[in-house]
Chains A and B, each alone.
Chain A
Amino acid sequence: MPSPDGTGRPIPAFATQLLAALGRYTGTWVSAVVDRDDGRGPTTIATAGRPATVSGKPVAETPLALTVPWTGVLRMPATGPAGAQPDATGTGAAAADATGTDPAGTDPTGADATRADAAGTGTGGIDTSAPVRLTAQRLATALEYERLRQADLRRQSWLTYLLEVGDLLAHSIDTQLTEALIPRLVVPRLVEWCALYTLDGKGVPRIATVAHTDEAAAANMLSPQHAFGKRLNSRQMLDTVLDATGAVVTGVPDCLVIPMRAHGQRVGALALGGPGIADAESVSIAEEVARRGAAALDNARVHDERRHISHTLQQALLPPTLPVVAGLGIGTSYLPAGQYNQVGGDMYDLITLPGGDCVAVIGDVAGKGVQAATVTGIVREVLRVLLIEGKPVTEALDALNETIRSRCQRYCTMALAHVQAPTVGDALPVTVYLAGHDQPVLVRRHGEVQPVGVWGTALGVLPRVHCVPETVLLRPGDSLIMFTDGVTERRDGDEFFGLEGVCESAAQLAAHPADVIAQGLATLALDYAAEEPRDDITIVALRNDARPAA
């Protein structure tokens, strides 16, 4: 329990003792009535003796020096010729006569003379005699202490609340979630209802989310048919949302509107309603919540934009659709690593040459992020143009090498597989070109696995690239699997998935359809370790889908 007077006693007990002492002194009943502006009105906090309830007897009130909005008085019978002192000391003493003399001699202080003074004006007016004044002062001090302590506790509690609010909002980077959260932060703790207004792309305000202590009323807030909803969407309300520069109380409906701004830009407004919304403390708390809410909304919006940009960029780096090539099964798996808003440096493409042949490409630009993605984009588009123009692969690689060398700070590894028209026995000749990239793996129908291709120079480093093509025959049911180092460098502690992992997986997946191979290998690489992959995983599988003879 708080100790308002520092002696460890709560107010009512302390006040009762104080009044009892005064009451013994005056020989009357005494009561203290205080209005703490808490909605309960004037309340008797302590009494000594039995206050007279018979109306008509004059009562003297001594005001207590309290800080507004608290008020209080000491009440006791008015003394004077007209009034007889009712018995109220509770000690069994007989009622004193008009002069206040105690006939029973129960006055231990022997202060009859003083009591005569205490009779005061005798007209029912304020009794300013010393003991009464002192008691009033003492009581007022104790009450003031209580008031300050309560205010302090309340402030601490609101500070804690604001910290929690800030914390909750800081973790929310999703726009929808943030919008849903904000009204619920103030209802019911601070206000009865709340509507969050946000501005759309054109700066037009609309209600994003609402909260109300009464669920049914919440629905009314959003309903254009209901009076509540109508008022919240009225021209006047929306204008206030757009124009208010500070917290403002509007009458439409009776509520507080607080503009929400982040980086000097208006992002919306909070409308709050309920008892006590206009009191200074509530407004101040609400403004703090609005400020934090605005920052969180702005943050979430930036995240959304970034995610959108990344997604768009990423999509631009992928082939829109896989080509359909008769007899050739094509499977891909593309898993960019990192946060959802980080683009990767991996790319793949399937390019149809003028003669109908298909070239599968897989590439890896060192690094991640927008810079790497830019290089990836350039590489993809330039290569496509060159090959479709009919340039031989080695020449295209030379041109690419020059482009990257002159323009970018990064190097790029690449593997290409040029699938040519089937020869005798439905075998598909595939010419493999490697530019700094690891060898793809050829997996035969029956499970034999071998890496193919000759190591070549990565693009963008040296003035000249060295690339030796190697041609293999993909018989019906055979597959060629191309992959980036996100697969081989997948790591579990000190162990790596490695080329061994790829070969083992390939053997398991032999003869399966190309998409099964691509997905299967990706899954096996992912499952190799518990933690999230640190690098992009890209896999392209090409399968000779012709039916094997016998």
Chain B
Amino acid sequence: MIKTKDLQKNFAVRVKSGRFRREKRVVEAVAGVSLSIEAGEMVGYIGPNGAGKSTTLKMLTGVLSPSGGEVEVCGLQPVPQRTRLALRIGVVFGQRSQLWWDLPLHESFALLRHIYRVPAAEHAARLRRCRDLLDLDDFLDTPVRQLSLGQRMRGELTAALLHGPRVLFLDEPTIGLDVVSKQAVRSFLAELGATGDVTLVLTTHDLADIERLCERLVVIDHGRVVHDGTIEALHARYGSRRSLVADLSSPLPEGFVLPGATLVGVEADRHRVTFALDGVTAGAAVADLVTAVAIRDLSVVEPDIEDVVARLYAS
């Protein structure tokens, strides 16, 4: 559905050098990204600020032309075939609106029907579905400028889907939303992705979005792909492990060794200990620990994707 090969984008930036002279310096925003995304996939595209996420998205949607490499979306060339591509993709920018600020929300939807030339029956059916799933009915008659951010984002999602796009691009769709609205957006997208009709590509800084929605994770840094695969593969690659945290009734004896695990944390006068599980199951580790010391409380902690990604960005 989406194919890029060695996709590049360079920006020329003029830098002051001397009193009147300005030098041209080339900044590589995207430095050779090759991706292949199949129909129905849900892909999270993440990276630190300035990594080239938005630039890639703009090249995929036909807003910017690439400086080099190849790009194909829905079998079309984004920039030369922009208007044809626009009919097949939906785009949600978290930070800017596709809706008409001064008009009631339902009028924006009616306008989009004209802009995308959607038959009335199809439009009505899709709108019906979004109204049910996103609870739009309470604010359909409210001018967009008076909507809360959460309500507006639900409107934006609907607006991007009314023409039945094959690919949906979401640029930070949960930015600035409260917990409840984030949940609403995520469950809607999860349901949409589950149908398999729509390919989803989303950029975000909120890794919970990715954990909840995306099987596949593409991490970009300095314009290059540094990871492309599942979240599990990311954990495996960066050696992030599950850990066992135990509160003990008596201090942990000096020199204690738990087979297959490494002691990584000791707190509260050796009453609270953390073991990283290397090649052993949580069950076996717990059994070994219980026979050695008396335990008051115990928990198994999943590896934190935030930590992994932070390490990835830092390296």
Does B associate with A? no
